[in-house]
Amino acid sequence: MTEGLHIADIVAGYGRRRVIDGLTLPPVPPGTVVGLIGANGSGKSTLLKTLAGLIGGTGHTRLGDHDLRRLSPALRARLVGYLPQTVMRPSSLAVYEVLLSALRATWPELTRARADQRIEAVLADMAVTDLAMRPLGALSGGQRQMIGLAQVLVRAPRLMLLDEPTSALDLRWQLSVLERVRGEARDRRAIALVAIHDINLALRFCDRVVVLGEGLIAAGPPAEALTPAVLRRAFGVTARIETCSHGRPIVVTDGVAAGAIRDQEDIP
Ligand SMILES: Nc1ncnc2c1ncn2[C@@H]1O[C@H](COP(=O)(O)OP(=O)(O)OP(=O)(O)O)[C@@H](O)[C@H]1O
């Protein structure tokens, strides 16, 4: 049995446009949160959509013993949870109904009592129980983003593909949501791939990062992979890795590095 997520030689894109061209990543063990980092347009969403089976492509993508490209829709719904970059649209459905239908579509054998229990637990863990009976149309953008994540968590998938899950959230909720994702990964030995622009949140919450640019720029534990040279190549900025007063690494950006984006630097 091959545990974890294995990604090799992925080629994917849109029509004739190749966005990901032969991407291979180090194997990801169960229980790991991986931050996907890279400039706008570097292919983070494309990679997540490819793994979610939403766009075609070639290559090897395995989750444990399952070939992700050959999953039946029913098994895919159980194993893989995808949160798109776009926040859920407002509707007249109540949060509880949205979560119940996600759960029923994935685990139809669950009794109503078990389903209710699961929904209540997820809403309580995310500290949004007060939203349960509110219609989606009456929620703020950030609240809808949290319910989008709850829709993934309630199904308890082994692979969570989260495209910028904190983009609409204030400081407190960014921390709380990423804490929750990390807890899910640890408690259920699930894997989370999280596209994220905030490098300092990635440093704090991710076990590993994958930095995309024109291909793979770096991969590994955040404190090792996110060097000034990598940040310069990925984003075209000059940046320093400092240590905060609590002993944690933090990235401080100093500015845009002139002509840096296409530099061929020697990155270890
Ligand atoms: N539906 C599409 N059709 C054609 N090209 C697309 C489509 N979606 C994305 N692209 C292109 O693919 C490339 C990668 O886009 P992608 O959305 O994967 O980047 P990203 O790293 O997620 O960016 P961002 O940080 O801005 O969300 C970009 O050049 C983009 O223009």
DSSP for residue 42: S
Gap between the terminal Cα atoms of the chain? 32
What b/e sequence results for 112-122 when a residue is b if at least 16 CB atoms lie within 10 Å of its CB, and e otherwise?
A: eeebeebbeeb
Q: Which residues surround ligand 1 with Cβ inside 6 Å?
A: 14, 17, 19, 38, 40-46, 85
- ipTM (interface pTM): 0.98
List the residue whose alpha carbon is closest to atom 13 of ligand 1: 41
Helices (H), 82-170: 95-106, 112-125, 141-153
Count Cβ neighbours within 10 Å for each residue of 12-47 and write b for 16 or more, e otherwise: bbeeeeebbeebebeebebbbbbbbbbbeebbbbbb
| Mean predicted confidence (pLDDT) in 218-232 | 95
Ligand 1 atom 19: the closest Cα is on which residue? 41
Q: Give the closest residue (by CA) to ligand 1 atom 15.
A: 41
- Residue 3: the pLDDT is 87
Asked whether the predicted pLDDT for residue 260 surpasses 70, the reply is no
**Tens-place pLDDT, residues 69-113:** 999 999 999 999 999 999 988 899 999 999 999 999 999 999 999
| Residue % of the chain over a pLDDT of 90 | 90
Other C-beta atoms lying within 10 Å of the C-beta of residue 64: 15
Average pLDDT for the chain: 93
- Residue 135's beta-bridge partner residues? 94
Q: Over the stretch 166-200, which tens digit does the pLDDT of each residue have?
A: 999 999 999 999 999 999 999 999 999 999 999 99
Q: Which atom of ligand 1 is nearest to the CA of 43?
A: 18
| Mean pLDDT along residues 4-18 | 95
Domains and CATH numbers, the chain: 5-226 (3.40.50.300), 227-268 (no CATH)
C-alpha of residue 43 to centroid of ligand 1, in Å:
6
pTM higher than the cut 0.90 = yes
* Cα 228 from Cα 217, distance rounded (Å): 12
Long-range contacts formed by 65-69: CB under 8 A, 24+ apart: 65/1, 65/2, 68/159
Q: How far is CA 129 from the centre of its chain?
A: 23
Ligand 1 centre distance from Cα of residue 45 (Å): 7
Mean pLDDT of 131-140: 97
CA of 180 to the centre of ligand 1 (A): 27
The owner of tokens 């997520």 is 5
Name 36's bridge partners.
195, 210
Q: Identify the pLDDT of residue 1.
A: 45
44 C-alpha to center of ligand 1: Å?
A: 8
Q: Strand pairing partners for 94?
A: 135
Residue 82 near residue 102, CB atoms below 8 Å: no
- CA 217 / ligand 1 centre spacing (Å): 17
pLDDT at 59 over 80: yes
